[in-house]
Amino acid sequence: MTITTADLVELQLPAGIDRAQATTILAQRLAASGRVTDQEGFLADVRAREEQMATGLDGGIGIPHARSAHVAQASVAFGRSADGVDFGAEDGPATLIFLIAAPDGAGAEHMKILGSLARKLIHAEFKDGLRGAPDAAAAATIINDAVAV
């Protein structure tokens, strides 16, 4: 089971968008791939989570995420933004955005994979790899390799 594919990667998010727009662009990818069954429902769940506490983190990372009934399979859509998108982090906008979709009531296996992805986000070499990825397929490979158990 892979958590992302080249179809779920957008290396050139448009400039000047806000976090809702960035999240929507990535959610569209997830919906098109069938991993998210109801885009609007899923986005509502992500918004609800984002309202509890902004998901921007130091070092240019945004991780909008939700456990949602509208998710068929644990997945990550990855977006890269040259200008950055404000995700509420104190040190500035996020250039690497991970939209993490977890199925509601999923077993521990799904969650472990997402957990190991989250752990990777701490490491500079993982982030640098994604910043330098030449194309979507390369970025997807980096993410999938990172969580390979």
Partner 1 sequence: MRIVAVTACPTGIAHTYMAAESLEVAARAAGHEITVETQGSAGSTPLTAEELAGADVAILAADIGVKGRERFAHLPIVEGPVKRGINDAEGMLAEAQAAVDAQPAVDPAAKLDTSGKVPANPALASVVAPGYKPGPGALLRTWLMTGVSYMIPFVAAGGLLIAISFLIGGASIATQVNGGTFDGHTYKEISDVTDIWGQVGIAGVLYYIGNTAFSMLVPILAGYIAYGMADRQGLVPGIVGGLLAVSIDAGFLGGLVAGLLAGAVVLAINRIPVHKNVRGIMPTVVVPLVSVTVVGILMIAVVGSPIASLMDTITDWLNGLNGTNAWVLGGLLGLMMAFDMGGPINKVAYTFGVASLASGNQDIMGAVIAAGMTPPLALALSTVVRPKLWTTEEREAGKAAWLLGASFITEGAIPFAAADPLRVIPSLMAGSATAGALSMAFGASSPAPHGGVWIIALIGTPGLWLVAILAGTAVSAICVSFAKTVGRAPAATATEAGASTPAASLTTAVHG
Q: Which residues bind partner 1 (CB under 8 A)?
A: 18, 20, 49, 51-53, 55, 57-58, 63, 65-67, 90, 100, 102, 104, 106, 108, 111-112, 114-116, 118-123
Burial label for 138, CB within 10 Å (0-12, 13-18, 19+), is middle
Q: Look up 65 and say whether it is catalytic.
A: yes
Based on CB atoms, which residue is closest to partner 1, 125 or 135?
125
Cβ of residue 28: shortest distance to partner 1, in angstroms?
Answer: 20
HSE value, Cβ hemisphere, 13 Å, CA-based, for 24? 7
Based on CB atoms, which residue is closest to partner 1, 117 or 140?
117
Cβ of residue 118: shortest distance to partner 1, in angstroms?
Answer: 4
Cβ of residue 52: shortest distance to partner 1, in angstroms?
Answer: 5
Q: Which of 48, 50, 102, 41 is nearest to 76 (CA)?
A: 102
User: How far is the C-alpha of 35 from the C-alpha of 4, rounded, in Å?
Assistant: 10
Based on CB atoms, which residue is closest to partner 1, 119 or 131?
119
